[in-house]
Amino acid sequence: MENAIQDFINYLHRTKKASRNTEVSYRRDLRKMAQFLANERVDEVSGVTPTQLEAYILYIERENFASSTVSRSVASIRAFFQYLFREGLIREDISEELHPPRVEKKTPEILSVEEVDLLLAQPDTKTPKGLRDRAMLELLYASGMRVSELVHVRLSDINLLLGYVTCRESGKERNIPFGNICKKALSRYLQEARESFLEGKDTDIFFTNCSGGTMSRQGFWKMLKGYAASAGITGDITPHTLRHSFAAHMLQNGADIKSVQEMMGHSDISTTQVYVSLNANKMRDVYMKTHPRI
């Protein structure tokens, strides 16, 4: 079954132009399924039955995986078996009757403008690391880009003169503007800090780790958590928290939803509309707390 999974991953990479993160997620989900089936003495895709797939989904539900994780696993399995059926490797698509659990949509966590200001003030800009970290945080909040895009930004993606960054994800490209505060932070990092990390290495990566290599998403997440703790910000802050905050604050200050959708890289505008609802709820809370005739 491992060979079939690898062929499917190759198909995603070459034909569907899937992102690296998507490939990793599919591979992980399908290997978990394969391990379960191997314990049931099923090693070939042609021997899998609909009942066994249903049993696997029940198994991961009973293991108390989050509904979102189960839903993603169902999507991975269905895509895999649809591929096998199209390629003539199985006689029928046995995943057709698999249905994901209903996922309750959570309201995105956002920071207040004051909390963002406090967070971005935490890096010590008297040090190269502090200059880099400040520039990364400023760009993440100024653009709303994904952390996977942030850590892979290249020198050629940043236009300091015109003030925009080019993001590339899954073969798609978008240009996002940024303001003067972000521009200043990026310029200082380039002029005063970046070379100290490279130690003579030649790389086009804009933000490097302390060894001159590509920073991992986990490395950035750890750095962000540290600054959030220093700022006294409670809650489970993630890189996506700044992305959510960017969208909510833009809409709160009058940006049109279509522009925010394009900057965020959302393919469906309904994904962006959640921030409109978020702002509406916040306005109602403010009204109920402050209007004299409630």
**One domain, residues 78 and 134:** no
- Please tell me the predicted confidence (pLDDT) of residue 288: 58
**Position 27 in a domain:** yes
Residue where a domain terminates, one of 68, 86, 104: 86
Q: Is 62 in the same domain as 143?
A: no
Radius of gyration of the chain (CA): 23
C-alpha span between 87 and 93 (Å, rounded):
11
Judgement on whether residues 269 and 128 belong to the same structural domain of the protein: yes
Q: How far, in Å, CA of 269 to CA of 260, rounded?
A: 9
Sites in the chain below the pLDDT cut of 70: 102-107, 170-171, 276-294
Tokens of 108: 């995105």
Query: CA angle 162-123-116, nearest 5°?
Result: 70
Phi and psi at 175, nearest 5°, equal -105, 130
45 and 137 both lie in a single domain: no
Query: What's the token pair of residue 52?
Result: 């066994």
Q: How confident is the model at residue 287, as a pLDDT?
A: 47
CB distance 245 to 116 below 8 Å: yes
Q: Are residues 257 and 140 in the same domain?
A: yes
- The answer to the question of residue 97 being in a domain is no
Domain match, 137 and 283 both: yes
Nearest C-alpha neighbor of 195 from the set 155, 140, 163: 155
d(CA 176, CA 186): 15
Question: Which CATH number belongs to the domain containing residue 76 in this structure?
Answer: 1.10.150.130
Query: Is residue 56 domain-shared with residue 125, that is, in the same domain?
Result: no
Number of domains forming the structure of the chain: 2
Tokens describing residue 184: 């200043």
Q: Which residues pair with 172 in a beta bridge?
A: 169
The Cα 226–Cα 221 span in angstroms is 9
Where helices occur in 113-238 by DSSP H, the ranges are 113-120, 128-143, 147-150, 180-192, 194-198, 217-230
pLDDT (0 to 100) of residue 170: 63
Clarify whether residues 137 and 214 are in a common domain.
yes
Quick one: 241 and 130 in the same domain? Answer: yes
**What is the CATH classification number for the domain harbouring 221?**
1.10.443.10
Give the pLDDT score at 285. Answer: 56
Residues 156 and 11 in one domain: no
In the structure encoding, which two tokens stand for residue 233, read together? 């910000």
